Amino acid sequence: MSIGDDTKDIHLSGGAGFDGFVDDGLGTIGIGGKAFAIGLQWRGFEDPTKGKPVEQARRAATGARADLFCLRHGVQFGLGSKGMDHRPGMASLAAFLADTIDGNWIGVFKVNEGGLYYVAAKDGAVLPGCDRFFNDEEAALAAFSDLAFVYEWNHIFAPEEWHEDAQEAKLEEILRARKPATKLRSVSSTGKITKYGITGLVVLGLGLGYQQYQDYLAEQAAVQAAILAAQSLTGRKPPPPPPPMPWEGVAQGIPALFACVDGILDAEIVIPGWKTETVSCRNEEVSLSLVRDGGTVNWIADTLNRDGFRPSINPNGDSAVVSWKLEKAPEYPKKQETDSLRKIRRYLYSHFEELFHDIAFSNGTRTEYYDTLNFAFSTSYYPTEFAGVLAEIPVFELSKVELDIMDMSWKIEGKIYEQLPLPQKING
């Protein structure tokens, strides 16, 4: 079964795209004698401190070499190009549908003989990469399937054989209820930072840095004065205190394990135009390892950014790493009793043997004050299932927790510490 057959009053036009946009060269759809813009590059607004919505949109348009933009106030903005036959005053079809249809929805609509328009919206926002035309039905089905079976949708507009909850609909019937509110406008100006504003920031930064440096000098002078006073009383240099132990200020192993697993399981791994290979956690930070699959870096931000959540995105060619910090876990205190590494190694080996799991060990850093032992194991179970075993280790640092999306296997790495007896004599 194909999508609606009554498409005689729908036509398409288009041209070259602009920076960062992947499309089939079609930028407008005519419905009932009215032209609508499609193929816009959709982005979410940044923190309000980054400027007013219109300023953010104009700044983004300049960076993408876009000629036009439109605002969906409080939600997002779209970028357009005259090279795609976009014109000032032209309404965005995706925005019109998002304003008209309630809830989360996805749709594929027939707009020309053999041509399909693919669009989706979630939480009121048009999803990046989901405002486009397809000549090929198989390509449209592939794009539709990438999202249709991942999220929960309130409405699915598509051929019934594409999805069990799909219903067929025509754009003319959906758009008949209201008039479009989101229209393209020209990029006529961009925000500027005055030289005085930049100078003020530089001066403020220098002032703070100078004060921190002065505090550091005062602290060092106090330490040196204490050393000289001790030397004058005893006639010799006092022995230096033992150095800080490496676990001081390190997140406790078990709370860090639960935080990492929760952070990984809560991560959004379905990003249009990108494939997630691994999700990992280390140093109380979750990271997604992504490989490009037809998308742009902007699609990552538009999918993940939301109120109060702005992950760091680091692209590198056709790959990218997205990361964000977790809440701080409780830390080990300065004075923390440890146990023999040899004893802990026997304990872990025995318990993992009973669990029919392999665990690997390797020697870590050893000094005259402490020794370390590295461990690693893989499992198809949630790593928190091993918390009862690991909780018997007095001090261990969680080095990494990683989930391989391909086979849903976990890898856990950690470091165990033992404090050694203080040397009998420390030469000054």
Give ∠ CA 218-222-225 in degrees, rounded to 5.
135
- Which value, in Å, is the radius of gyration of the alpha carbons in the chain? 30
**Higher per-residue confidence, 52 vs 15:** 52
The Cα 423–Cα 339 span in angstroms is: 18
Answer yes or no: is pLDDT of 232 > 70. no
CA distances from 246 to 235, 390, 395, 397 (A): 33, 19, 11, 10
Q: What is the residue-averaged pLDDT of the chain?
A: 82
Answer yes or no: is pLDDT of 202 > 70. no
Instruction: With cut-offs at 50, 70 and 90, classify the pLDDT of residue 75.
Output: confident
Which of 65-74, 137-146, 177-186, 367-376 reaches the highest mean pLDDT?
367-376
**Higher per-residue confidence, 197 vs 345:** 345
Least confident among 3-7, 136-140, 219-223:
3-7
Cβ pair 345, 373 in contact under 8 A: yes
pLDDT at 236: 57
Q: Please state the rounded mean pLDDT for residues 363-374.
A: 94
Q: Please state the rounded mean pLDDT for residues 263-274.
A: 92
Answer yes or no: is pLDDT of 327 > 70. yes
CA dihedral 152, 155, 157, 160 (to 10 degrees): 70
Instruction: With cut-offs at 50, 70 and 90, classify the pLDDT of residue 45.
Output: confident
The Cα 210–Cα 204 span in angstroms is: 10
pLDDT at 426: 47
pLDDT at 424: 64
Q: Among residues 374, 369, 379, 365, which one has the least CA distance to residue 393?
A: 374
The Cα 179–Cα 99 span in angstroms is: 10
Query: Who contacts 424 (Cβ-Cβ below 8 Å, separation ≥6)?
Result: none
Least confident among 349-353, 387-391, 417-421, 422-426:
422-426
